């Protein structure tokens, strides 16, 4: 699903802005090389790259739409939201001490999360 969004929506829109010779180089050389370097883990690497350049107050509001328990409502739970949540948590955790406070805003209490999973 994330790969489809990139292939069907984002990539064509971006490529349409480029001149034809540049577009050909990107399609024929750059993208295949980039995908082979990522070794199939394109979604997490792409999300991490996007989060790196997103203002700190924006990622929480961007995609997750957490409820008051800090959980994604079951009716709006999707593979994409779970992947985004994972990438966001890993990204914030990598910030070390600075990320601890941010993680508290993102993660639910353990008992609530266990109930949610059950």
| Residues 54, 68 within the same domain | yes
Question: Number of structural domains, the chain?
Answer: 2
In this predicted structure, what is the pLDDT of residue 9? 63
**For the segment 60-92, what is each residue's pLDDT rounded down to a tens digit?**
555 678 888 888 888 888 888 888 888 888 988
| Residues 34, 45 within the same domain | no
Between helices 42-52 and 79-93, what is the axis angle to 10°?
60
pLDDT of 29 above 60: yes
| Mean per-residue pLDDT over the chain, rounded | 79
In this predicted structure, what is the pLDDT of residue 111? 92
The Cα 67–Cα 76 span in angstroms is: 11
**For the segment 109-118, what is each residue's pLDDT rounded down to a tens digit?**
999 999 988 8
In this predicted structure, what is the pLDDT of residue 62? 57
| Residues 48, 35 within the same domain | no
Joined together, the tokens standing for residue 105 give 């805003």
| Residues 26, 48 within the same domain | no
Please enumerate in sequence order all residues whose Cβ is within 8 A of that of 76, keeping only pairs 6 or more positions apart, or say none.
65
| Residues 8, 48 within the same domain | no
| Residues 113, 69 within the same domain | yes
| pTM summary value | 0.63
| Residues 97, 46 within the same domain | yes
Q: Show the domain range for 35.
A: 1-40
């Amino acid at each position: 699903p994330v790969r489809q969004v990139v292939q069907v929506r984002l990539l064509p829109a971006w490529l349409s802005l480029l001149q034809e010779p540049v577009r050909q180089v990107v399609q024929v050389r750059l993208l295949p090389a980039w995908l082979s370097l990522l070794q199939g883990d394109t979604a997490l690497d792409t999300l991490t790259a996007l989060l790196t350049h997103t203002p700190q107050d924006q990622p929480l509001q961007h995609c997750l739409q957490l409820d008051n328990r800090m959980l994604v409502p079951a009716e709006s739970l999707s593979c994409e939201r779970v992947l985004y949540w994972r990438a966001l948590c890993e990204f914030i955790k990598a910030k070390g001490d600075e990320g601890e406070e941010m993680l508290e805003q993102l993660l639910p209490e353990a008992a609530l999360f266990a109930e949610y999973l059950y």
